[in-house]
Amino acid sequence: MLKIQRKQPPSLDSFLPEGAETPIRDEALGAPTEVKVERIADLFGQIMETLGLDLRDDSLRETPQRFAKMYVQEIFRGLDPQQRPRIATFENRYQYKQMLVERDIRLHSCCEHHFLPILGRAHVAYIPDRHVVGLSKLNRVVDYYARRPQVQERLTQQIAVALQQDLETPDVAVWIEASHLCVAMRGIQDEASVTVTSAYEGRFREPAIQLQFLAAIGKVGSEAAAQTGPLAMLIQESKSSALGDKGESSDALD
């Protein structure tokens, strides 16, 4: 019997510690985008039909195709290892050794239990060692891991570990605050609640450094942090409404 040798697909999260990986069938990653889109369009059309919708209606006719493209190319883009942002770092020539905080990075993700949106903000910080990075790369790392079916705890961890690896420093902090539409639209129907998760790695586990980070993102008063030492850091506010648009945080290194 002829056995078709498939090219070994790239592994999605091989660098992440056990438990932090997205549960994925690695063999499925290699399937071409068009095949995935076609299959999902077919299956989503069946869901719509099962709900009783008439797909001959000209408003609905293209929905399965539109839905499938959106899933594969946008909302779940982070399941494609080729899309992992390539992070070019630069030598830390200015010997900047304080924390750098990038705050208010917009976050669009999707809950893996209900497939409904998770919308919020991420704040990330790192203390450079020998390398620094173009600032919008921090946004891109957040966005890549957000574009998967997620639970917020794992998303927080994935971003922290990816940044440690890309920036070659153990000193990384991530804070995410987000609304889950599965909590707002169904079940308990609480539109006001916000879920907060955080990851403190390396020196961010030291209370004084952690407090400075929390002050920088406005979670504790700066007086409290000032008592622990001088507040020396660079804070960059993310103004981006969409990645790739001109409003994104600009930086000479970018």
Residue 11 C-beta-side C-alpha neighbours within 13 Å: 5
Q: Please report, to the nearest 10 degrees, the dihedral formed by the alpha carbons of residues 141, 12, 147, 40 taken in order.
A: 160
Active site residue 112: yes
Active site residue 111: yes
123 and 99 in contact (C-beta within 8 Å)?
Answer: no
- Chain residues 105-124 in contact with Zn ion, contact rule CB under 5 A: 111, 113-114
d(Cα 174, Cα 213) in Å, to the nearest integer? 10
Looking at beta carbons only, is 114 or 131 nearer to Zn ion? 114
Q: Does 131 bind Zn ion (CB under 5 A)?
A: no
Active site residue 91: no
Looking at beta carbons only, is 108 or 114 nearer to Zn ion? 114
Active site residue 131: no
Q: Does 220 bind Zn ion (CB under 5 A)?
A: no
- The residue length of the chain stands at 254
- Binding map of Zn ion across residues 175-214, x = CB under 5 A, - = no contact: -------x--------------------------------
Active site residue 180: yes
Hey, is 51 helix, strand or coil?
A: coil
Rg, C-alpha atoms of the chain:
21
Nearest approach, Cβ of 6 to Zn ion (angstroms)? 34
The catalytic residues are 111-114, 152, 180, 182
Residue ranges in contact with Zn ion by CB under 5 A = 111, 113-114, 182
